[in-house]
Amino acid sequence: MSVLDKVLSLRPANAVSRMGPGSRLPLLSPSELLRALEGTPAALPCVPVRAKAAVPGLLTAARAEDSVLGLACAHPLADRGSTERFLAAVKAAATESEHARPLFLQAGPVRVARPKPEGVAVQQEAIFRLVDDGFSLVSLDVSRLEPAVAVEVIRSLAAPLSERELPVEVTIPARPKEGASVIDTARPMLEGLRRGKVPVTFLRVPAAEFGDEDLDVGLLHLLVELATGFGVSVTVGEVPERSVRSLPTLVAAGVRKVDCAAPFERLSMAALSEEAREVVEKKADSAGMAPGELLGLIEEQLPPLEGPARERLEALSFTEATEMISLLGASKTGWRSMAWLAENRGD
């Protein structure tokens, strides 16, 4: 039995169901990858996909660097077909290239609203759908809720994930009081989740919490220490492009996963025709969103990229992803994690 065959046996059941029994794609839970890379100075790289034409370049970079990789469908509940289109693009690119390095698929961060009696069931149904769609990680954005409310919402929404033994990621909640630090914000939620026996794998914190220019390494260390005490790993998200060079500092501080979209948003926007770019920028201004993020929502409404533009986006995405993987210390983590998992499947 080969290493790949042994690793394929570890795929979550929902991923096997979605990709089909004949798929040889090692689509794993990031929890398994954290186990395999314990003690390794590396963070899991995750790229929110804004333009699906970038996916082949991202997968090629993971193979070239022999790296684990996460791909995120940032707005999985935008419409009924958003996850289908995302998953179809990943499956097609992975099948064509016979991708054989560990991959995880993230849904979200899914923005969670303050619950109403009739709304809880609707939100639960949405999470069930994401599980059935084959995602190996669901990220819940509870940043608009107070910690106590966030705990209750997470408890109700995490149930279908816990039943499938899939990991959950949660964004830090709203600040309990003006002037509160990220530590003051995270602690009450982590304490509430522990009391409620709600399993959470990742605590997601926007990069802006640690400073716009100079990274507050001390604060980041304190957060990592706090989260680790609760058995939770830290994700840093929304890393601005000017901070990409600081990725090794995040790894050194103990961050275990990084969501890095900014370079790929720029490339995806540049691939559009001038007319399409103007449409996206105008709608983004009206919606109060960054154009690159909005592109992930309305890509299907725009004319498809023509051959040269697609090829250029794929090539440049490969270049950016290669650098990101290297800066996160994730080079050479692909085969290493597979070999470890194959050897320790029964642990």
Q: What is the pLDDT of residue 118?
A: 67
Handedness of CA 114, 117, 121, 122 (dihedral sign): negative
Instruction: Give pLDDT, residue 113.
Output: 81
Quote the pLDDT of residue 108.
Answer: 96
> Which two three-digit tokens encode residue 100?
């054989």
What local confidence, expressed as pLDDT, does residue 93 receive? Answer: 97
Q: Note the pLDDT of residue 345.
A: 83
- What's the pLDDT score for residue 346? 67
| CATH classification at residue 232 | 3.20.20.70
DSSP 93-137: HHHHHT--S-EEEEEEEEE-PPP-HHHHHHHHHHHHHHHHTT-SE
Minimal CA–CA distance to 59: which of 36, 167, 256, 68?
68
**How many structural domains is the chain composed of?**
1
- Write out the residue range of the structural domain in which residue 107 sits: 3-343
Positive/negative CA dihedral, 229, 230, 233, 234: negative
Cα first-last separation, the chain: 18
The two three-digit tokens of residue 309, written as one number: 């533009």
- Compute the distance between CA of residue 253 and CA of residue 69 in angstroms, rounded to an integer: 20
Reading the chain (347 residues) residue by residue, the pLDDT tens digits are: 799 999 999 999 999 999 988 899 999 999 999 999 999 999 999 999 999 999 999 999 999 999 999 999 999 998 889 999 999 999 999 999 999 999 999 999 999 987 776 677 888 899 999 999 999 999 999 999 999 999 999 999 998 899 899 999 999 999 888 888 999 999 999 999 999 999 999 999 999 999 877 899 999 999 999 999 999 999 999 999 999 999 999 999 999 999 999 999 999 999 999 999 999 999 999 999 999 999 999 999 999 998 999 999 999 999 999 999 999 999 999 999 999 999 998 65
Q: Is the Cβ–Cβ distance between 99 and 67 less than 8 Å?
A: no
